[in-house]
Structures are given as structure tokens and as C-alpha cells.
Amino acid sequence: MLFNSSRSMFNVLDNYLEFFREESCGQCTPCRVGCQQLLKGIKAVKRGEKNAQYLDKLLRLTETMQYTAKCGLGQSVANSFSSIVENFREEMIY
């Protein structure tokens, strides 16, 4: 997916996670709670309530979601999350 350089990648991820949080059917734990944690987590890092290392904890969480979620929705959250957080880490923090 392409975005021009004026786009805030934080907002892009925020938008993705908002979608996943809402569209998760809510059945399985990793997807239902995981999506909520990821969304709240990046906001907390952005606001400075959690330190930057919390992003690494969230990255490990997306790995668990990929391994354990019941369907493709929860399993695929890791793709966008890790791609954005790993490539635009500073945008997530500042």
C-alpha cells in the first residue's frame, strides 16, 4: 500500500487498529483483547504514558496474535502493525 510522505503513519496505524478493534468478532482472546491493547498501546506511547520499549512488547503481542488467533483477521493484524512500527518507529513515539 502506498502513502505519500505527508501522511502521518501513526494516524494510518491508528486507523487500521480502529478498524481491527471494531471488526474483530470478539470470539477469540488474542484478537478481541489484542486489538484493544494495540490501539490503546500506541496511543499511550504517543502520549508518553508508556515508554518506547512498550512498542517492542506490542510487537511480540502481534506475533502471538499471528500464531494463535482463530481466523485470518486476527492473524493479519501483525502485518500492518509490524511494518509500520518497525519502519516508522520515531513517528510512533514523537
Partner 1 sequence: MAKKIKISINGVSVEIDQDTTILDAARQTGVIIPTLCYHKDLCVAGNCRVCIVEIMGQKRLTAACATPCEEGMDILTNSLKVRNSRKHIIELLLSEHNADCTRCYKNGNCELQKLASEYKIMTQDFIRLVPFKNYTIDQFSPSIIKDDSKCIRCQRCVRTCAELQGVNALTVAHKGDQMKITTFFEKAMNDVVCTNCGQCINHCPTGALVEKNYIEEVWDAIADKTKHVIVQTAPAVRVGLGEELGFGPGVRVTGKMVAALKRLGFDAVMDTDFTADLTIMEEGTELLTRLKRKMVDHDPDVKFPMATSCSPGWIKYIEHMYPDYLDHLSTCKSPQQMFGALAKTYYAKARNLDPETIVSVSIMPCTAKKFEANRPEMHDSGYRDVDYVLTTRELAIMIKQAGIDFMRLGDVHYDRLMGESTGAGVIFGATGGVMEAALRTAYELVTGRDVPFDNLNITPVRGMEGVKEATVKIENPLKEWTFLEGVELKCAVAHGLVNAHKVMESIISGESNYQFIEFMACPGGCLGGGGQPIPTNPEIRRKRAEAIYAEDEGMPLRKSHQNPEIIKIYKDFLDHPLSEKSHHLLHTHYSPRDRF
Which residues lie near partner 1 (CB under 8 A)? 21-30, 32-37, 40-41, 44, 50, 54, 57, 60-61, 64, 66-70, 75
29: exposed, middle or buried (C-beta count within 10 Å: 0-12, 13-18, 19+)? Answer: middle
Comparison of 7 and 26: residue with beta carbon closer to partner 1 = 26
Give me the least distance between CB of 28 and partner 1, in Å please: 5
Q: Which of 50, 49, 38, 51 is nearest to 10 (CA)?
A: 38
Give me the least distance between CB of 93 and partner 1, in Å please: 17
Is the CB of residue 72 less than 8 Å from the CB of residue 60?
no
Comparison of 5 and 20: residue with beta carbon closer to partner 1 = 20
Comparison of 69 and 85: residue with beta carbon closer to partner 1 = 69
Comparison of 10 and 20: residue with beta carbon closer to partner 1 = 20
State the DSSP string of 54-82: HHHHHHHHHHHHHHH-SSHHHHHHHHHHH
